[in-house]
């Protein structure tokens, strides 16, 4: 049995029974049986099933928001935002059925007996989705919705830190959905690996740490695998910008939800002409970040567990021993509740974990650069490549950053944490491959077949 705690109060707010392999096998078999029927479903039927999910989200929005705030330790306003995004995510499944329509292919058929080529996408089978703790509903739906929209069945595994909100939603929707269409498993990592390896699982969609993601990929090199693995996202602030308002935005991008977002701002590069003034503004903005109980809408909320609180302490200590300087923060605010102070470091380098690894906590680094070309070089000096934020009004800078920065997404005049659920979201290098975003996930969850007449 897995106990689930309120991440701030530490009260037990629920329990989840871990499943046996026999139970999981039954769910896999049920999903395979349902797929043989559902693969031939028409769009209106799929839309009806997705609408069941939309209705459940709308009817239980307040309850689910509060549940997420408690089990994930997420600021309540941000949990409410997640529910709004969940609804949009589900609706996007219906909005993108055209991806599955027959498409004409421009082929030169001269000298052949043929005259026309078309393609169509077909569902691949049973998909295994693994969702992270930080967006326990929306990132689960980024797997569930494209699977349903494209004619597949899916088995989803939530994080053991945050299984309650997804369990609640699954219980609601499975009162009305056909048996085997969408199922959830709560199980050990060992049994999750067995699911990954099972021959009837045709695709794995994983969101989480790089170490686990690449391990999964190594287990099944011949299967379709989508990995969204995070990184150490950077911003560059050019001169001739309104650095005061930018500093406020960057501070929020660093410390919202204690930095426990794949695209939280971690590395900040600032043009030397405005560096000192920007540093003052950033320290001031950081000092205004509130920390504590997520139900009171504090921006900087608890870390998911004590292991990561200790890691924050250790990484800051390592950095300072190697020459880094703490501008603000750098300490535990509440050890019992795993709250770490919003922290800014300068004089950092690639030998420090706070700079080179994914912090996934409320720690950011600040570096002065002489120009945007230097910023590009330093941003690319990373094993990760998810998203980057560029603050500039110079079209040449925008063009060069888009062409040269090695990431999956370049966000202009905003933090790298900007995301809409329509976007093709994902990274390169150790940040993974494949794309979330409903339309793009639907493509990944289907096989393209050619017909020549």
Smallest Cα–Cα separation from 136: which of 180, 179, 181, 186?
Answer: 186
262 is catalytic: yes
CA distance linking residue 230 with residue 71, whole number of Å: 21
Q: Are 15 and 2 in contact (CB under 8 A)?
A: yes
Catalytic residue among 228, 358, 430, 443: 228
CB-CB neighbours of 230 under 10 Å:
24
CA distance linking residue 204 with residue 409, whole number of Å: 23
Smallest Cα–Cα separation from 203: which of 158, 160, 153, 157?
Answer: 153
228 is catalytic: yes
Q: Are 342 and 289 in contact (CB under 8 A)?
A: yes
User: At CA 341, angle to CA 140 and CA 414, rounded to 5?
Assistant: 55
Catalytic residue among 262, 401, 436, 443: 262
Strand 153-157 to 126-130 pairing: parallel
CA distance linking residue 42 with residue 412, whole number of Å: 40
Phi, psi of 178 (to 5 degrees): -60, 145
Residue 304 Cα distances to 129, 162, 362, angstroms: 21, 10, 12
Handedness of CA 284, 386, 446, 216 (dihedral sign): negative
CA distance linking residue 191 with residue 438, whole number of Å: 28
Residues classed as catalytic = 228, 262
């Amino acid at each position: 049995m897995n106990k689930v705690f309120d991440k701030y109060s530490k009260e037990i707010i629920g329990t989840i029974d871990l499943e046996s392999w026999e139970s999981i096998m039954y769910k896999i078999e049920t999903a395979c049986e349902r797929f043989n029927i559902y693969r031939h479903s028409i769009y209106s039927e799929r839309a009806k099933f997705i609408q069941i999910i939309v209705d459940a989200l709308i009817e239980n929005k307040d309850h689910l928001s509060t549940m997420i705030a408690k089990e994930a330790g997420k600021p309540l306003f941000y949990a409410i935002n997640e529910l709004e995004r969940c609804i949009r995510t589900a609706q996007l499944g219906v909005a993108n059925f055209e991806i599955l329509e027959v498409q004409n292919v421009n082929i030169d058929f001269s000298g052949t007996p043929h005259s026309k080529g078309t393609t169509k996408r077909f569902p691949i089978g049973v998909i295994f989705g693994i969702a992270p703790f930080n967006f326990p509903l929306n990132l689960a739906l980024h797997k569930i919705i494209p699977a349903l929209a494209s004619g597949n069945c899916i088995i989803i595994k939530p994080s053991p830190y945050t299984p309650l909100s997804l369990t609640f939603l699954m219980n609601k929707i499975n009162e009305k959905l056909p048996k085997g269409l969408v199922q959830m498993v709560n199980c050990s990592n060992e049994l999750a690996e067995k699911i990954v390896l099972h021959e009837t699982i045709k695709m794995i969609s994983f969101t989480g740490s790089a170490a686990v993601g690449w391990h999964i990929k190594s287990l099944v090199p011949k299967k379709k695998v989508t990995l969204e693995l995070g990184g150490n996202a950077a911003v560059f602030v050019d001169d001739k910008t309104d650095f005061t308002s930018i500093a406020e935005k960057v501070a929020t991008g660093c410390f919202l939800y204690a930095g426990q977002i794949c695209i939280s701002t971690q590395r900040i590069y600032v043009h030397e002409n405005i560096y000192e003034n920007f540093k003052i503004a950033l320290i001031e903005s950081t000092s205004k970040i509130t920390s504590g109980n997520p139900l009171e809408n504090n921006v900087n909320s608890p870390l998911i567990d004590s292991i990561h609180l200790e890691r924050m302490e250790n990484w800051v200590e390592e950095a300072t021993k190697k020459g880094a300087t703490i501008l603000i923060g750098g300490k535990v605010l509440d050890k019992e509740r795993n709250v770490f102070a919003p922290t800014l470091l300068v004089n950092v380098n690639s030998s420090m974990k706070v700079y080179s690894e994914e912090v996934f906590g409320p720690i950011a680094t600040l570096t002065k650069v002489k120009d945007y070309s230097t910023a590009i070089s330093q941003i690319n000096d990373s094993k990760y490549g998810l998203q980057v934020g560029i603050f500039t009004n110079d079209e040449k800078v925008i063009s060069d950053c888009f062409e040269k920065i090695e990431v999956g997404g370049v966000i202009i005049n905003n933090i790298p944490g900007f995301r809409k659920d329509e976007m093709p979201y994902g990274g390169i290098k150790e940040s993974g491959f494949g794309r979330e975003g409903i339309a793009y996930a639907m493509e990944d969850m289907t096989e393209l077949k050619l017909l020549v007449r």
